[in-house]
Amino acid sequence: MGSLIRSTASLRMLATSARQGLSVRNSYALHRKYHASGTLKSAESSQSASQIISNADTFIMKAYSRPDIVLSHGKGSYVYDTNNNEYLDFTAGIAVVALGHGNADVAAVVADQATKLVHCSNLYHNIWAPKLARDIVTATTEAYPQGTQGIYAKGSDGTSGPRMFFTNSGTEANEGALKFARKYGKHVAESGSLGKSTSEALRGDPNLKCGIVSFTGGFHGRSMGALSVTANPKYQKPFAPLIPGVTTAEFNRTSELGAFVDERTCAVIVEPIQGEGGINAANVEFLQALRRRCDQVGALLIYDEIQCGIGRSGKLWAHQKYPSDCSPDIVTMAKPLANGIPIGAIMVSDKVANVINVGDHGTTFGGNPLACRVGCTVFGQIKEPAFLSNVETAGKVLDQELKQALAPYIGKIVVDIRGTGLLRGIQFSSDPSKIVGLAREKGLLLVGAGKNTIRLVPPLNTPVSDIKKGAGIIAECVKELAPEWN
């Protein structure tokens, strides 16, 4: 109860300062000063790490494997545990905290909006969802003027373009995209646009055009629909049977697309750069073939850019590194959009938006004013060319530092170093979990991925000095563990 009273007092203080005309950042500064004085210190913060972990073991389901540290706060590229140990964070909450921890702009917006309107549901309009939608659509089309297909195609009126639907997470965004594709498939089936014999068959039963194709190495989420298109037995087997109508093709293999993607396919879902699968980039020819085949059979091309999108690749979208004839019909996004405040979104082409009617889809929390206002702040910084250029530069430095430091081990215990921007991977010849553990002991947080790969996804504004420091710690760990490597 005491913590609640103190938190309420803090919000009252922020509200009062806002009424007095103080700026959002000044209001936040007052909040920080109030907090530093100890007035807001909660009883929970005095618990030991062992007590906290014991409570987690007792009251939280055992769905995660975590080290015995408890993180308490962060600043920039660093996080700190309850024992005041410092860690350089090359995980960023799994590619989420794009602007770093404890970001003053994000914190100020959260504090200010919390005193105004956090949630009102989609029964009513709010100020920030339309603004964020406009910002994303405008920035996307402006960053890729050569685009003419998919989301870049003009609508039937010659002017309208893509539209947005807000969700709460990446998984939910993918679920929505799959739903939209199923309805679009019925629309195509009923329109009779696929040739006489095919059209007659599909018109007789529009539900036949329901197939979804995904690819090996892909990861799209853990709810039933998203899990069904995530071709990993480790994730799928415990929950089978999954949704019907899903087939899995080989990633980056164009020769078999004709057999997998046919007139009964309503959608193809793929990550332009796979994250969880091991930092694997799609070949240009592969994405071009997907676009052509989807057009031939009236299927939608869905790009899951939840991890590789919104600046992570050094471009606003990873697919914008590819030619325009690779453009998607739907893009899903989430992770960095609000720097850790839960949000996701689906961007769909005009032709998809036109088949979705009132009541076809919905969400209670998606598009709430708090998340969307934070999204406006975060996206507003990431979309700037100078910011994206810095991501490119930092990524090149990371690549160079790793290749130079790990040169003696490449072709031996290091199989490959790959990636783009600040989405990088180091593939090892066997399980690199010992490197992850040793790096943590040395003050660097890393996260694994498929194919014995360590994934490097630091905050997008990580200073070059910290990029070099992280690469150096990785090199130290590899050097120490190399003699005992199997």
**187-203 exposure pattern, b = at least 16 Cβ within 10 A, e = fewer:** bbbeeeebeeebbeebe
What pLDDT, on the 0 to 100 scale, is given for residue 197?
Answer: 63
What pLDDT, on the 0 to 100 scale, is given for residue 2?
Answer: 41
The rounded Cα 220 to chain-centroid distance in angstroms is 10
| Cross-strand partners of 78 | 75, 88
One-character DSSP codes across 56-106:
HHHHS-S-----S--EEEEEBTEEEETT--EEEESSHHHHT-TT-BT-HHH
What pLDDT, on the 0 to 100 scale, is given for residue 203?
Answer: 74
Q: What number of CA atoms fall less than 13 Å from residue 225's CA on the CB side?
A: 18
Q: What are the backbone dihedrals phi and psi of residue 331, each rounded to the nearest 5 degrees, phi first? A: -125, 130
- Show Cβ contacts of residue 77 under 8 Å, excluding neighbours closer than 6 positions: 88, 89, 100, 101, 458, 459, 462, 463, 466
Whole-number Å distance between alpha carbons of 396 and 254: 30
Whole-number Å distance between alpha carbons of 95 and 455: 10
Indicate the length of the chain as a whole number. Answer: 486
Reported for 249-255, long-range contacts at CB under 8 A and 24+ positions apart, including other chains, are 249/213, 249/214, 249/215, 249/216, 250/215, 250/216, 251/215, 251/216, 251/217, 251/218, 251/277, 251/280, 251/282, 251/286, 252/280, 252/282, 252/283, 252/286, 253/286, 254/283, 254/285, 254/286, 254/289
Are 202 and 194 contacting, i.e. CB atoms less than 8 angstroms apart? yes
Q: Measure the CA angle with vertex 67, ends 61 and 71; round to 5°.
A: 90
Q: In what order do the strands lie in the sheet with 414-420?
A: 414-420, 423-428, 453-456, 447-449
DSSP symbol at 453:
E
Q: Alpha helix locations (H) across 205-265?
A: 224-228, 233-236, 257-260
On the 0-12 / 13-18 / 19+ scale of CB atoms within 10 A, 471 is: buried
What pLDDT, on the 0 to 100 scale, is given for residue 199?
Answer: 66
Pairing state of beta strands 280-281 and 71-75? unpaired
Whole-number Å distance between alpha carbons of 94 and 79: 14
Whole-number Å distance between alpha carbons of 444 and 465: 14
Q: Which residues does the chain have with pLDDT short of 70?
A: 1-45, 159, 195-199, 486
What pLDDT, on the 0 to 100 scale, is given for residue 277?
Answer: 97
What pLDDT, on the 0 to 100 scale, is given for residue 83?
Answer: 95
What pLDDT, on the 0 to 100 scale, is given for residue 446?
Answer: 98
CA distances from 218 to 83, 128, 211, 231 (A): 37, 32, 17, 6
Are 355 and 155 contacting, i.e. CB atoms less than 8 angstroms apart? no
The rounded Cα 377 to chain-centroid distance in angstroms is 17
Whole-number Å distance between alpha carbons of 28 and 438: 37
**Terminal C-alpha separation, the chain:** 54
pTM: 0.91
Tokens of 225: 């629909």
| Cross-strand partners of 167 | 344
CA distances from 398 to 402, 425, 436 (A): 6, 11, 17
What pLDDT, on the 0 to 100 scale, is given for residue 5?
Answer: 38
